[in-house]
Amino acid sequence: MEAFQVASGGVVMQLEFVWNHIREALVVPILKVAVFLCLGMLLMDFVEKVFMGIAICFVKLCGRKPEKRYKWETIKDDDVELGNSNYPMVLVQIPMYNEREVYQLSIGAACGLSWPSDRIIIQVLDDSTDPTIKELVQVECRKWESKGVNIKYEVRDNRNGYKAGALREGIKHSYVTQCDYVAIFDADFQPQPDFLSQTIPFLLNNSEIGLVQARWTFVNADECLMTRMQQMSLDYHFKVEQEVGSSTYAFFGFNGTAGVWRISALNEAGGWKDRTTVEDMDLAVRASLKGWKFLYLSSVQVKNELPSTLKAYRYQQHRWSCGPANLFRKVAMEIFTNKKVSLWKKFHVVYSFFFVAKIVVHINTFMFYCIVLPITVMVPEVIVPKWSCVYFPCIITLLKAVGTPRSFYLLIFWVLFENTMSLHRTKATIIGLLEANRVNEWVVTEKLGDALKDKVGGNKVHKKHRFSIGDRIHMTELFVGFYLLYCGCYDFMYGKNYFFIFLFMQAIAFFILAFGYVGIFVPNT
């Protein structure tokens, strides 16, 4: 027994000796490099957010409203001889795919636009594969047609190119040649009646503007905690990022809906392409490289629906993260070699719009706060400066939260939720950069409409939904949660920086997502 204990002690000492050498020669240097890279990316994000904050303050304080920067006049319709000819012909496109819950809302809102009936064409592009839904949409179109609305119901034999393919085919119809502008609304978007009268005059009076984008507002922001978190992120995008891009560079990413394009600008840019899953951003970049300017109107708001189930939100975030990264891979050299735009605008598009906002932020959020920072608690030789894990993150969070002041009390939940979702955004970003599997995956974001509301009393009716174990448990989140929990316990016992407070909270957030306790449950029928 004593001999065995001596032998065991010798093995342990040898293993410890080997580990110390590996730690000193390999682990510590690699971790120091990882920390250095993460701090560099954090500084990029910090500078970008501070610049955005300064720029939006300048825009607001100086009153740089669109009406002051561009010519804007209401369309006069008091000339009896001219009739409605003062109004340009407008095409309104509504692409949809099996939108049982919301098709009536979008078609009804488009048909209710205040524009002369002989100067507007409503085009419903139905890619539905469910025959019942196709029939419902067709009946809805016939109903509005009987009321005198010029509405066209268009279908294709295939879904090639998904939304981009539908929009591309829709604009090829012969009757579109008489139209000057095209407004696009996804199936859950509900524009106000005066949408066209607020947006078209900017295009009509300023020949250099190719796109006018409206702001999104959300009908179900208070549906659950997950939709509140989404609202905080999207409000920053629309109230700060889009506003600054429009006012400073006359460029921003088209949001794919709630916008009006000059058809000549769309055609000059090469039309709709389906080479990535962000056909809207692709078109915006190509049009910008042709010299067209974009205008964002925060005063024009269009209601739509946020994903309220975790499954729908994850699919959406995959597309929104993978697509831009893949597009960046395809257009970076095209932007650098372009001769029609200024060097300043090239720098903004390549560095700020793509590299920092679409790649660095996603990767660093996950790698630094969920991988690198936790492991440093077990390697005391690697020092993480306090400004990188306390001061800068707090400043960035506050700068991003200004868009939704009513949700300030949710800041901690929001940070934990965003860190958790960064796992999928990082994975999707890497897939896009490497053009790996799922790079062209397109899953239409599920819309619920009134499916969860009582038609009589307006009360939400939440029904129990049966899940299989495979659908309910997400192993990746579970693994990261246990990793953070282990690092938190180690720091609690041996650490001196109190990182375990954050690590325990972040671990709990990953466990909540791992077991699907986010969003709402949708009944099967």
Measure the CA–CA gap between 502 and 487, rounded to whole angstroms. Answer: 11
Closest CA to 469 of 522, 514, 427, 424: 514
Measure the CA–CA gap between 34 and 366, rounded to whole angstroms. Answer: 13
Write down the catalytic residue from 188, 235, 274, 280.
Answer: 280
Measure the CA–CA gap between 272 and 270, rounded to whole angstroms. Answer: 7
Closest CA to 291 of 352, 254, 325, 342: 342
- CA 301, 306, 310 angle in degrees (round to 5)? 165
Closest CA to 416 of 369, 373, 368, 348: 369
For residue 516, what are the CA distances in angstroms to 187, 314, 510? 27, 12, 10
282 is catalytic: no
3-state secondary structure of 192: coil
Measure the CA–CA gap between 492 and 308, rounded to whole angstroms. Answer: 36
Cβ atoms 186, 106 nearer than 8 A = yes
Specify the amino acid at residue 335: I
491 is catalytic: no
Measure the CA–CA gap between 337 and 476, rounded to whole angstroms. Answer: 41
Measure the CA–CA gap between 407 and 412, rounded to whole angstroms. Answer: 10
3-state secondary structure of 2: helix
In our burial notation (b when 16+ CB lie closer than 10 A, e otherwise), range 447-466 reads: bbbeebeeeeeeeeeeeeee
Sign of CA dihedral 490, 493, 494, 498: positive
Write down the catalytic residue from 127, 235, 282, 491.
Answer: 127
* Distinct helix (H) and strand (E) counts, the chain: 21, 7
Residues forming the active site: 127, 280
